[in-house]
Chain A
Amino acid sequence: MNFFSPLTDGLRGLGRATLFLFTILAGIPEALLRPRLIFQQIYSVGVLSLIIIVVSGSFIGMVLALQGYRTLVNFGAASSLGVLVALSIVRELGPVITALLFAGRAGSALAAEIGLMKATDQLSGMEMMAVDPIKRVIAPRFIAGLIAMPLLASIFSMMAIGVAGGHAIGVELLGVDDGSYWSQINQAMHGADIRDMLIKATVFGLAISWIAVYQGYHAAPTSEGVSRATTSTVVVSSLAILALDFVLTAFMFH
Protein backbone atom coordinates (compact mmCIF):
# COMPACT_ATOMS: atom_id res chain seq x y z
CA MET A 1 0.00 0.00 0.00
CA ASN A 2 1.18 3.45 -0.85
CA PHE A 3 2.16 5.45 2.22
CA PHE A 4 0.40 8.55 0.91
CA SER A 5 -2.76 6.83 -0.28
CA PRO A 6 -4.94 7.76 2.74
CA LEU A 7 -3.95 11.36 2.13
CA THR A 8 -4.63 11.30 -1.61
CA ASP A 9 -7.90 9.42 -1.05
CA GLY A 10 -8.95 12.05 1.47
CA LEU A 11 -8.08 14.89 -0.89
CA ARG A 12 -9.90 13.20 -3.75
CA GLY A 13 -13.00 12.77 -1.56
CA LEU A 14 -12.84 16.43 -0.54
CA GLY A 15 -12.55 17.44 -4.20
CA ARG A 16 -15.55 15.33 -5.14
CA ALA A 17 -17.57 16.72 -2.24
CA THR A 18 -16.67 20.27 -3.27
CA LEU A 19 -17.79 19.67 -6.84
CA PHE A 20 -20.98 18.17 -5.46
CA LEU A 21 -21.51 21.30 -3.35
CA PHE A 22 -21.21 23.45 -6.48
CA THR A 23 -23.81 21.29 -8.24
CA ILE A 24 -26.15 21.74 -5.28
CA LEU A 25 -25.57 25.50 -5.21
CA ALA A 26 -26.36 25.66 -8.92
CA GLY A 27 -29.63 23.84 -8.22
CA ILE A 28 -30.68 26.16 -5.38
CA PRO A 29 -32.33 28.96 -7.44
CA GLU A 30 -34.71 26.48 -9.05
CA ALA A 31 -35.39 24.77 -5.72
CA LEU A 32 -36.29 28.15 -4.18
CA LEU A 33 -39.11 28.49 -6.70
CA ARG A 34 -40.83 25.58 -4.98
CA PRO A 35 -40.96 26.62 -1.31
CA ARG A 36 -43.42 23.83 -0.46
CA LEU A 37 -40.67 21.22 -0.87
CA ILE A 38 -38.37 23.23 1.39
CA PHE A 39 -41.05 23.68 4.07
CA GLN A 40 -41.65 19.93 4.09
CA GLN A 41 -37.96 19.36 4.73
CA ILE A 42 -37.74 22.07 7.39
CA TYR A 43 -40.53 20.19 9.12
CA SER A 44 -38.74 16.87 8.95
CA VAL A 45 -35.24 18.08 9.94
CA GLY A 46 -36.27 21.01 12.12
CA VAL A 47 -39.65 20.56 13.73
CA LEU A 48 -39.11 16.85 14.33
CA SER A 49 -35.76 17.62 16.03
CA LEU A 50 -37.44 20.02 18.47
CA ILE A 51 -38.01 17.54 21.29
CA ILE A 52 -34.40 16.43 21.55
CA ILE A 53 -33.23 20.07 21.30
CA VAL A 54 -35.64 21.36 23.95
CA VAL A 55 -34.93 18.55 26.41
CA SER A 56 -31.15 18.69 25.93
CA GLY A 57 -31.12 22.49 26.20
CA SER A 58 -32.98 22.35 29.49
CA PHE A 59 -30.67 19.75 31.01
CA ILE A 60 -27.47 21.46 29.86
CA GLY A 61 -28.73 24.73 31.36
CA MET A 62 -29.61 23.04 34.64
CA VAL A 63 -26.27 21.27 34.97
CA LEU A 64 -24.39 24.45 34.13
CA ALA A 65 -26.31 26.34 36.83
CA LEU A 66 -25.58 23.68 39.45
CA GLN A 67 -21.86 23.50 38.65
CA GLY A 68 -21.51 27.27 38.22
CA TYR A 69 -23.28 28.04 41.48
CA ARG A 70 -20.98 25.75 43.48
CA THR A 71 -17.92 27.63 42.26
CA LEU A 72 -19.35 31.14 42.24
CA VAL A 73 -20.79 30.93 45.74
CA ASN A 74 -17.25 30.44 47.15
CA PHE A 75 -16.38 33.89 45.87
CA GLY A 76 -19.68 35.42 46.88
CA ALA A 77 -20.46 35.92 43.21
CA ALA A 78 -23.57 33.76 42.96
CA SER A 79 -25.51 36.68 41.51
CA SER A 80 -23.33 36.39 38.39
CA LEU A 81 -24.73 32.93 37.71
CA GLY A 82 -26.88 34.24 34.88
CA VAL A 83 -23.88 35.64 33.03
CA LEU A 84 -21.95 32.42 33.40
CA VAL A 85 -24.78 30.33 32.02
CA ALA A 86 -25.76 32.76 29.28
CA LEU A 87 -22.30 33.41 27.90
CA SER A 88 -21.23 29.74 27.93
CA ILE A 89 -24.44 28.77 26.19
CA VAL A 90 -24.60 31.52 23.60
CA ARG A 91 -20.92 31.56 22.73
CA GLU A 92 -20.17 27.84 22.75
CA LEU A 93 -22.51 25.17 24.03
CA GLY A 94 -25.65 26.36 22.26
CA PRO A 95 -24.45 26.12 18.67
CA VAL A 96 -22.02 23.23 19.23
CA ILE A 97 -24.32 20.87 21.13
CA THR A 98 -27.26 21.72 18.89
CA ALA A 99 -25.09 20.89 15.88
CA LEU A 100 -23.92 17.58 17.38
CA LEU A 101 -27.52 16.62 18.16
CA PHE A 102 -28.66 17.79 14.73
CA ALA A 103 -25.99 15.65 13.06
CA GLY A 104 -27.15 12.62 15.04
CA ARG A 105 -30.87 13.20 14.64
CA ALA A 106 -31.35 14.89 11.25
CA GLY A 107 -28.03 14.35 9.43
CA SER A 108 -28.11 10.58 9.85
CA ALA A 109 -31.78 10.42 8.77
CA LEU A 110 -31.00 12.52 5.70
CA ALA A 111 -28.08 10.32 4.65
CA ALA A 112 -30.08 7.12 5.21
CA GLU A 113 -33.10 8.43 3.31
CA ILE A 114 -31.09 9.55 0.29
CA GLY A 115 -28.95 6.41 0.37
CA LEU A 116 -32.04 4.20 0.40
CA MET A 117 -33.63 6.22 -2.40
CA LYS A 118 -30.50 5.50 -4.39
CA ALA A 119 -30.42 1.80 -3.47
CA THR A 120 -34.06 1.35 -4.53
CA ASP A 121 -33.51 3.12 -7.88
CA GLN A 122 -35.74 6.05 -6.91
CA LEU A 123 -33.07 8.58 -7.87
CA SER A 124 -32.32 6.75 -11.13
CA GLY A 125 -36.04 6.55 -11.81
CA MET A 126 -36.35 10.29 -11.35
CA GLU A 127 -33.51 10.89 -13.78
CA MET A 128 -35.21 8.67 -16.32
CA MET A 129 -38.38 10.74 -15.89
CA ALA A 130 -36.26 13.75 -16.84
CA VAL A 131 -36.37 15.11 -13.27
CA ASP A 132 -33.05 16.21 -11.81
CA PRO A 133 -32.70 14.59 -8.36
CA ILE A 134 -30.24 17.30 -7.29
CA LYS A 135 -32.89 19.98 -7.73
CA ARG A 136 -35.85 17.90 -6.62
CA VAL A 137 -34.39 15.93 -3.70
CA ILE A 138 -30.97 17.20 -2.66
CA ALA A 139 -31.24 21.01 -2.85
CA PRO A 140 -34.45 21.34 -0.76
CA ARG A 141 -32.92 19.16 1.98
CA PHE A 142 -29.71 21.15 1.92
CA ILE A 143 -31.53 24.49 2.20
CA ALA A 144 -33.74 23.15 4.99
CA GLY A 145 -30.68 22.17 7.07
CA LEU A 146 -29.22 25.62 6.56
CA ILE A 147 -32.40 27.32 7.80
CA ALA A 148 -33.21 24.91 10.61
CA MET A 149 -29.85 24.95 12.41
CA PRO A 150 -29.76 28.63 13.54
CA LEU A 151 -33.40 28.37 14.61
CA LEU A 152 -32.74 25.21 16.61
CA ALA A 153 -29.60 26.70 18.19
CA SER A 154 -31.63 29.75 19.27
CA ILE A 155 -34.33 27.57 20.79
CA PHE A 156 -31.70 25.45 22.55
CA SER A 157 -30.10 28.58 24.03
CA MET A 158 -33.41 30.01 25.20
CA MET A 159 -34.29 26.74 26.90
CA ALA A 160 -30.87 26.49 28.57
CA ILE A 161 -30.69 30.07 29.87
CA GLY A 162 -34.30 30.84 30.62
CA VAL A 163 -37.39 28.75 30.61
CA ALA A 164 -36.48 25.43 32.24
CA GLY A 165 -32.68 25.48 32.38
CA GLY A 166 -30.34 27.77 34.29
CA HIS A 167 -33.12 30.04 35.51
CA ALA A 168 -35.14 27.19 36.97
CA ILE A 169 -32.19 25.84 38.94
CA GLY A 170 -30.43 29.13 39.78
CA VAL A 171 -33.39 31.27 40.70
CA GLU A 172 -36.14 28.87 41.68
CA LEU A 173 -34.05 26.22 43.43
CA LEU A 174 -30.82 27.85 44.63
CA GLY A 175 -32.32 31.24 45.38
CA VAL A 176 -30.25 33.56 43.19
CA ASP A 177 -32.07 36.88 42.87
CA ASP A 178 -34.29 36.95 39.82
CA GLY A 179 -33.51 40.60 39.03
CA SER A 180 -29.75 40.21 39.19
CA TYR A 181 -29.87 36.98 37.16
CA TRP A 182 -31.40 38.85 34.22
CA SER A 183 -29.81 42.29 34.65
CA GLN A 184 -26.30 40.87 34.71
CA ILE A 185 -27.01 38.94 31.54
CA ASN A 186 -28.37 42.14 30.06
CA GLN A 187 -25.14 43.99 30.84
CA ALA A 188 -22.64 41.31 29.86
CA MET A 189 -24.18 39.98 26.69
CA HIS A 190 -24.01 41.98 23.50
CA GLY A 191 -25.61 41.80 20.10
CA ALA A 192 -22.29 40.52 18.76
CA ASP A 193 -22.58 37.40 20.92
CA ILE A 194 -25.92 36.53 19.41
CA ARG A 195 -24.70 37.36 15.93
CA ASP A 196 -21.69 35.07 16.40
CA MET A 197 -23.93 32.29 17.67
CA LEU A 198 -26.11 32.55 14.57
CA ILE A 199 -23.04 32.58 12.31
CA LYS A 200 -21.67 29.47 14.01
CA ALA A 201 -25.01 27.68 13.81
CA THR A 202 -25.41 28.50 10.12
CA VAL A 203 -21.89 27.32 9.29
CA PHE A 204 -22.49 24.07 11.22
CA GLY A 205 -25.82 23.66 9.45
CA LEU A 206 -24.11 24.01 6.10
CA ALA A 207 -21.42 21.49 7.04
CA ILE A 208 -23.89 18.89 8.34
CA SER A 209 -26.31 19.20 5.43
CA TRP A 210 -23.48 19.06 2.93
CA ILE A 211 -21.88 16.01 4.54
CA ALA A 212 -25.22 14.21 4.94
CA VAL A 213 -26.47 14.69 1.37
CA TYR A 214 -23.03 13.90 -0.04
CA GLN A 215 -22.73 10.68 1.96
CA GLY A 216 -26.28 9.62 1.06
CA TYR A 217 -25.96 10.44 -2.62
CA HIS A 218 -22.64 8.62 -2.95
CA ALA A 219 -23.55 5.63 -0.77
CA ALA A 220 -22.99 2.18 -2.25
CA PRO A 221 -26.48 0.95 -3.22
CA THR A 222 -26.52 -1.87 -0.65
CA SER A 223 -27.67 -2.15 2.97
CA GLU A 224 -24.04 -2.04 4.10
CA GLY A 225 -23.42 1.03 1.95
CA VAL A 226 -26.36 2.89 3.48
CA SER A 227 -25.29 1.97 7.01
CA ARG A 228 -21.76 3.14 6.28
CA ALA A 229 -23.04 6.43 4.86
CA THR A 230 -25.12 7.03 8.00
CA THR A 231 -22.20 6.32 10.31
CA SER A 232 -19.81 8.48 8.28
CA THR A 233 -22.30 11.34 8.34
CA VAL A 234 -22.37 11.40 12.14
CA VAL A 235 -18.62 10.86 12.58
CA VAL A 236 -17.44 13.30 9.91
CA SER A 237 -20.03 15.92 10.89
CA SER A 238 -19.09 15.76 14.56
CA LEU A 239 -15.40 16.21 13.79
CA ALA A 240 -16.16 18.98 11.32
CA ILE A 241 -18.33 20.80 13.88
CA LEU A 242 -15.60 20.73 16.53
CA ALA A 243 -12.87 21.77 14.11
CA LEU A 244 -14.97 24.55 12.59
CA ASP A 245 -15.93 25.72 16.07
CA PHE A 246 -12.28 26.17 16.94
CA VAL A 247 -11.58 28.14 13.75
CA LEU A 248 -14.67 30.33 14.11
CA THR A 249 -14.01 31.00 17.81
CA ALA A 250 -10.41 31.97 17.02
CA PHE A 251 -11.66 34.53 14.50
CA MET A 252 -14.38 35.85 16.79
CA PHE A 253 -12.10 36.00 19.86
CA HIS A 254 -9.94 39.02 18.98
Chain B
Amino acid sequence: MTTAADSLVRVRSMKFGFGPKVIYDGIDLDIVRGKITAILGPSGTGKTTLLRLIGGQWKPDAGSIEFDGINVHQQSRKQLFELRKRMGLLFQTGALLTDLSVFENVAFPLREHTTFPESMIRDLVLMKLEAVGLRGAAKLYPSEISGGMNRRVALARAIALEPDMIMYDEPFTGQDPISMGVLIRLIQGLNRSLNLTSVIVTHDVEDVMKIADYVYVLSGGKVLDHGSPAEVQQSKSALVRQFLNGEADGPVSFHYKAARSYADDLMAGRE
Protein backbone atom coordinates (compact mmCIF):
# COMPACT_ATOMS: atom_id res chain seq x y z
CA MET B 1 0.00 0.00 0.00
CA THR B 2 1.18 3.51 -0.68
CA THR B 3 1.87 6.08 1.99
CA ALA B 4 -0.17 9.26 2.34
CA ALA B 5 2.62 11.43 0.95
CA ASP B 6 2.88 9.34 -2.23
CA SER B 7 -0.73 9.55 -3.22
CA LEU B 8 -2.26 12.64 -4.73
CA VAL B 9 -5.79 11.26 -4.50
CA ARG B 10 -6.96 9.04 -1.68
CA VAL B 11 -10.39 7.46 -1.78
CA ARG B 12 -11.47 5.77 1.45
CA SER B 13 -14.55 3.56 2.06
CA MET B 14 -16.40 5.60 -0.51
CA LYS B 15 -20.04 4.79 -1.16
CA PHE B 16 -22.18 6.33 -3.85
CA GLY B 17 -25.47 5.53 -5.55
CA PHE B 18 -28.19 7.00 -7.73
CA GLY B 19 -31.30 6.50 -5.61
CA PRO B 20 -31.56 2.78 -4.87
CA LYS B 21 -28.91 1.85 -7.46
CA VAL B 22 -25.56 1.32 -5.75
CA ILE B 23 -22.61 2.41 -7.87
CA TYR B 24 -19.82 2.22 -5.28
CA ASP B 25 -20.05 0.07 -2.23
CA GLY B 26 -17.15 1.21 -0.10
CA ILE B 27 -14.06 1.39 -2.29
CA ASP B 28 -10.48 2.35 -1.41
CA LEU B 29 -8.25 3.74 -4.10
CA ASP B 30 -4.94 5.62 -4.32
CA ILE B 31 -3.67 7.67 -7.23
CA VAL B 32 0.09 7.90 -6.89
CA ARG B 33 1.89 11.15 -7.73
CA GLY B 34 3.70 11.31 -11.03
CA LYS B 35 2.33 7.98 -12.24
CA ILE B 36 -0.26 6.92 -14.78
CA THR B 37 -3.07 5.05 -13.07
CA ALA B 38 -5.58 3.17 -15.19
CA ILE B 39 -9.06 2.46 -13.90
CA LEU B 40 -10.61 -0.40 -15.81
CA GLY B 41 -14.00 -1.98 -15.67
CA PRO B 42 -16.94 -3.05 -17.79
CA SER B 43 -19.27 -0.35 -19.15
CA GLY B 44 -21.78 0.83 -16.61
CA THR B 45 -19.53 0.30 -13.57
CA GLY B 46 -19.49 4.03 -12.92
CA LYS B 47 -15.95 4.81 -13.97
CA THR B 48 -16.92 8.25 -15.24
CA THR B 49 -18.87 8.76 -12.03
CA LEU B 50 -15.63 8.22 -10.11
CA LEU B 51 -13.96 11.10 -11.98
CA ARG B 52 -16.90 13.39 -11.28
CA LEU B 53 -16.73 12.42 -7.62
CA ILE B 54 -13.01 13.21 -7.47
CA GLY B 55 -13.69 16.52 -9.25
CA GLY B 56 -16.31 17.37 -6.64
CA GLN B 57 -19.21 17.58 -9.10
CA TRP B 58 -21.00 14.87 -7.16
CA LYS B 59 -20.83 14.03 -3.47
CA PRO B 60 -20.29 10.53 -2.08
CA ASP B 61 -22.95 9.12 0.25
CA ALA B 62 -20.27 7.97 2.68
CA GLY B 63 -16.50 7.84 2.97
CA SER B 64 -14.02 10.43 1.82
CA ILE B 65 -12.07 11.59 -1.21
CA GLU B 66 -8.92 13.60 -0.60
CA PHE B 67 -6.93 15.53 -3.17
CA ASP B 68 -3.43 16.35 -1.94
CA GLY B 69 -4.59 15.86 1.63
CA ILE B 70 -7.66 18.11 1.24
CA ASN B 71 -11.11 16.57 1.56
CA VAL B 72 -12.78 17.54 -1.72
CA HIS B 73 -16.30 17.47 -0.35
CA GLN B 74 -15.72 19.60 2.74
CA GLN B 75 -14.76 22.69 0.76
CA SER B 76 -16.78 25.81 0.09
CA ARG B 77 -17.64 26.42 -3.57
CA LYS B 78 -14.81 28.92 -3.82
CA GLN B 79 -12.27 26.55 -2.28
CA LEU B 80 -13.50 23.74 -4.53
CA PHE B 81 -12.96 25.96 -7.58
CA GLU B 82 -9.41 26.67 -6.37
CA LEU B 83 -8.85 22.93 -6.05
CA ARG B 84 -10.23 22.31 -9.53
CA LYS B 85 -7.65 24.62 -11.05
CA ARG B 86 -5.14 21.97 -9.99
CA MET B 87 -6.94 19.13 -11.77
CA GLY B 88 -7.97 18.79 -15.37
CA LEU B 89 -10.78 16.53 -16.55
CA LEU B 90 -10.85 15.46 -20.14
CA PHE B 91 -14.41 14.58 -21.13
CA GLN B 92 -15.16 11.80 -23.55
CA THR B 93 -16.51 14.28 -26.07
CA GLY B 94 -13.82 16.87 -25.44
CA ALA B 95 -16.53 19.29 -24.27
CA LEU B 96 -15.00 22.17 -26.24
CA LEU B 97 -16.99 25.37 -26.40
CA THR B 98 -18.45 25.21 -29.88
CA ASP B 99 -18.81 28.98 -30.32
CA LEU B 100 -15.09 29.57 -29.77
CA SER B 101 -12.17 28.76 -32.07
CA VAL B 102 -9.52 26.21 -31.12
CA PHE B 103 -7.24 29.05 -30.04
CA GLU B 104 -9.92 30.69 -27.90
CA ASN B 105 -10.86 27.35 -26.32
CA VAL B 106 -7.31 26.85 -25.08
CA ALA B 107 -7.11 30.51 -24.04
CA PHE B 108 -10.41 30.22 -22.14
CA PRO B 109 -9.07 29.06 -18.73
CA LEU B 110 -6.19 31.56 -18.99
CA ARG B 111 -8.53 34.45 -19.71
CA GLU B 112 -10.86 33.38 -16.89
CA HIS B 113 -8.27 32.84 -14.21
CA THR B 114 -5.28 35.04 -14.99
CA THR B 115 -4.62 38.67 -15.82
CA PHE B 116 -1.84 37.84 -18.27
CA PRO B 117 -1.38 40.34 -21.09
CA GLU B 118 -2.67 39.29 -24.51
CA SER B 119 0.81 38.64 -25.90
CA MET B 120 1.58 36.21 -23.09
CA ILE B 121 -1.74 34.39 -23.50
CA ARG B 122 -0.99 34.06 -27.20
CA ASP B 123 2.43 32.54 -26.53
CA LEU B 124 1.10 30.15 -23.89
CA VAL B 125 -1.77 28.98 -26.10
CA LEU B 126 0.55 28.40 -29.05
CA MET B 127 2.91 26.42 -26.80
CA LYS B 128 0.09 24.21 -25.53
CA LEU B 129 -1.23 23.68 -29.04
CA GLU B 130 2.24 22.85 -30.29
CA ALA B 131 2.54 20.24 -27.52
CA VAL B 132 -0.53 18.43 -28.88
CA GLY B 133 0.52 19.04 -32.50
CA LEU B 134 -2.36 21.34 -33.41
CA ARG B 135 -0.80 24.79 -33.65
CA GLY B 136 -1.79 24.77 -37.32
CA ALA B 137 -5.47 24.34 -36.38
CA ALA B 138 -5.59 27.35 -34.05
CA LYS B 139 -8.04 29.31 -36.19
CA LEU B 140 -10.44 26.42 -36.86
CA TYR B 141 -13.64 25.76 -34.94
CA PRO B 142 -14.40 22.52 -33.06
CA SER B 143 -16.93 21.52 -35.73
CA GLU B 144 -14.22 21.75 -38.41
CA ILE B 145 -11.82 19.25 -36.86
CA SER B 146 -12.07 15.49 -36.24
CA GLY B 147 -13.12 13.85 -32.98
CA GLY B 148 -9.54 12.84 -32.19
CA MET B 149 -8.34 16.39 -32.79
CA ASN B 150 -11.15 17.68 -30.55
CA ARG B 151 -9.76 15.56 -27.73
CA ARG B 152 -6.26 16.84 -28.33
CA VAL B 153 -7.50 20.45 -28.18
CA ALA B 154 -9.31 19.59 -24.96
CA LEU B 155 -6.03 18.16 -23.69
CA ALA B 156 -4.20 21.39 -24.58
CA ARG B 157 -6.92 23.29 -22.73
CA ALA B 158 -6.65 20.99 -19.71
CA ILE B 159 -2.89 21.61 -19.41
CA ALA B 160 -3.22 25.38 -19.97
CA LEU B 161 -3.29 26.13 -16.25
CA GLU B 162 -0.53 23.58 -15.59
CA PRO B 163 -2.50 21.34 -13.23
CA ASP B 164 -1.06 18.64 -10.97
CA MET B 165 -3.33 15.94 -12.31
CA ILE B 166 -5.28 15.13 -15.45
CA MET B 167 -8.19 12.73 -15.52
CA TYR B 168 -9.01 11.16 -18.87
CA ASP B 169 -12.53 9.87 -19.39
CA GLU B 170 -12.48 7.10 -22.01
CA PRO B 171 -9.89 8.87 -24.16
CA PHE B 172 -9.62 6.06 -26.73
CA THR B 173 -13.30 5.46 -27.50
CA GLY B 174 -14.12 5.76 -31.17
CA GLN B 175 -10.57 6.58 -32.31
CA ASP B 176 -8.92 5.21 -35.41
CA PRO B 177 -5.60 3.38 -34.84
CA ILE B 178 -3.51 6.40 -35.82
CA SER B 179 -5.18 8.93 -33.54
CA MET B 180 -5.26 6.29 -30.83
CA GLY B 181 -1.48 5.92 -31.13
CA VAL B 182 -1.09 9.71 -31.08
CA LEU B 183 -3.18 10.01 -27.93
CA ILE B 184 -1.33 7.24 -26.13
CA ARG B 185 2.01 8.84 -26.93
CA LEU B 186 0.71 12.25 -25.87
CA ILE B 187 -0.62 11.06 -22.53
CA GLN B 188 2.62 9.32 -21.75
CA GLY B 189 4.80 12.20 -23.00
CA LEU B 190 2.87 14.91 -21.16
CA ASN B 191 2.86 12.94 -17.96
CA ARG B 192 6.61 12.78 -18.07
CA SER B 193 7.48 16.23 -19.39
CA LEU B 194 4.99 18.20 -17.25
CA ASN B 195 5.49 16.06 -14.18
CA LEU B 196 1.78 15.28 -14.12
CA THR B 197 -0.25 12.63 -12.41
CA SER B 198 -2.62 10.92 -14.84
CA VAL B 199 -5.78 8.94 -14.28
CA ILE B 200 -7.20 7.09 -17.26
CA VAL B 201 -10.66 5.62 -17.09
CA THR B 202 -11.24 3.17 -19.88
CA HIS B 203 -12.33 -0.24 -21.03
CA ASP B 204 -9.66 -0.39 -23.73
CA VAL B 205 -7.55 -2.85 -21.84
CA GLU B 206 -4.84 -3.58 -24.36
CA ASP B 207 -3.85 0.01 -25.10
CA VAL B 208 -3.85 1.34 -21.61
CA MET B 209 -1.82 -1.58 -20.26
CA LYS B 210 1.09 -0.37 -22.39
CA ILE B 211 1.40 2.96 -20.60
CA ALA B 212 -0.13 2.47 -17.15
CA ASP B 213 2.08 2.23 -14.08
CA TYR B 214 -0.74 0.99 -11.89
CA VAL B 215 -4.11 -0.57 -12.63
CA TYR B 216 -7.38 -0.81 -10.76
CA VAL B 217 -10.13 -3.11 -11.98
CA LEU B 218 -13.61 -2.13 -10.80
CA SER B 219 -16.87 -4.00 -11.12
CA GLY B 220 -20.14 -4.19 -9.21
CA GLY B 221 -19.22 -1.31 -6.93
CA LYS B 222 -16.02 -2.98 -5.68
CA VAL B 223 -12.32 -2.95 -6.49
CA LEU B 224 -11.77 -6.44 -7.90
CA ASP B 225 -8.01 -6.22 -8.14
CA HIS B 226 -5.19 -3.72 -8.31
CA GLY B 227 -1.47 -3.69 -8.93
CA SER B 228 1.01 -3.21 -11.73
CA PRO B 229 -0.24 -4.26 -15.19
CA ALA B 230 1.78 -7.50 -14.95
CA GLU B 231 0.32 -8.33 -11.53
CA VAL B 232 -3.24 -7.67 -12.61
CA GLN B 233 -2.85 -9.83 -15.68
CA GLN B 234 -2.01 -12.75 -13.38
CA SER B 235 -5.08 -12.03 -11.25
CA LYS B 236 -6.72 -14.86 -9.36
CA SER B 237 -10.16 -13.38 -9.94
CA ALA B 238 -12.02 -15.08 -12.78
CA LEU B 239 -13.94 -11.88 -13.44
CA VAL B 240 -10.76 -9.84 -13.86
CA ARG B 241 -9.36 -12.45 -16.26
CA GLN B 242 -12.60 -12.55 -18.24
CA PHE B 243 -12.51 -8.76 -18.56
CA LEU B 244 -8.84 -8.49 -19.47
CA ASN B 245 -9.07 -11.26 -22.05
CA GLY B 246 -12.40 -10.10 -23.43
CA GLU B 247 -14.26 -13.41 -23.13
CA ALA B 248 -17.99 -13.32 -23.83
CA ASP B 249 -18.92 -15.69 -21.04
CA GLY B 250 -17.62 -16.11 -17.55
CA PRO B 251 -18.71 -14.58 -14.27
CA VAL B 252 -20.23 -11.71 -16.28
CA SER B 253 -22.93 -13.33 -18.36
CA PHE B 254 -23.51 -12.47 -22.01
CA HIS B 255 -27.24 -12.39 -21.26
CA TYR B 256 -28.88 -9.56 -19.41
CA LYS B 257 -30.84 -11.04 -16.54
CA ALA B 258 -34.44 -11.85 -17.61
CA ALA B 259 -37.45 -12.29 -15.34
CA ARG B 260 -38.35 -15.75 -16.70
CA SER B 261 -36.68 -18.48 -18.66
CA TYR B 262 -36.26 -18.36 -22.44
CA ALA B 263 -38.76 -21.20 -22.97
CA ASP B 264 -41.36 -19.58 -20.72
CA ASP B 265 -40.94 -16.26 -22.51
CA LEU B 266 -41.51 -17.85 -25.93
CA MET B 267 -44.51 -19.86 -24.71
CA ALA B 268 -46.08 -16.81 -23.12
CA GLY B 269 -46.72 -15.31 -26.57
CA ARG B 270 -49.02 -18.22 -27.54
CA GLU B 271 -51.58 -17.72 -24.81
Q: Which residues of B contact A131 (CB under 8 A)?
A: 108-109, 112-113
* A211 to B91 alpha-carbon distance, docked (Å): 29
* A122 to B157 alpha-carbon distance, docked (Å): 13
Q: Do residues A122 and B57 form an inter-chain contact, with CB atoms below 8 A? A: no
Q: Do residues A129 and B97 form an inter-chain contact, with CB atoms below 8 A? A: no
A1 proximal to B (CB < 8 A): no
Q: Which residues of B contact A128 (CB under 8 A)?
A: 55, 57, 84, 87-89
Number of interface residues of B (CB under 8 A): 24
Main secondary structure of the interface of B (DSSP, over half): mixed
From residue 92 to 141 of chain A, which have CB atoms closer than 8 A to chain B? 117, 120-122, 124-132, 136
Known: A130-B81, A130-B84. A125 touches B112 (CB 8 A): no
Known: A130-B81, A132-B81. A124 touches B57 (CB 8 A): yes
Most chain B CB within 10 A, of A121, A129, A136, is at: A129
From residue 73 to 97 of chain B, which have CB atoms closer than 8 A to chain A? 81-82, 84-85, 87-89, 91-93, 95-97
Q: Which residues of B contact A132 (CB under 8 A)?
A: 81
* A124 to B81 alpha-carbon distance, docked (Å): 13
Q: Which residues of A contact B108 (CB under 8 A)?
A: 129, 131
The answer, among A124, A130, A136, for a CB contact under 8 Å with B95, is A124
Q: Do residues A130 and B113 form an inter-chain contact, with CB atoms below 8 A? A: yes
A-contact bits for B94-136, CB 8 A (1 contact / 0 none): 0111100000000011001100000000000000000000000
B110 smallest CB distance to A (angstroms): 10
Known: A128-B57, A128-B84, A129-B84. A120 touches B112 (CB 8 A): no
The 4 closest A-B pairs by CB, nearest first: A125-B95, A121-B95, A130-B81, A130-B84
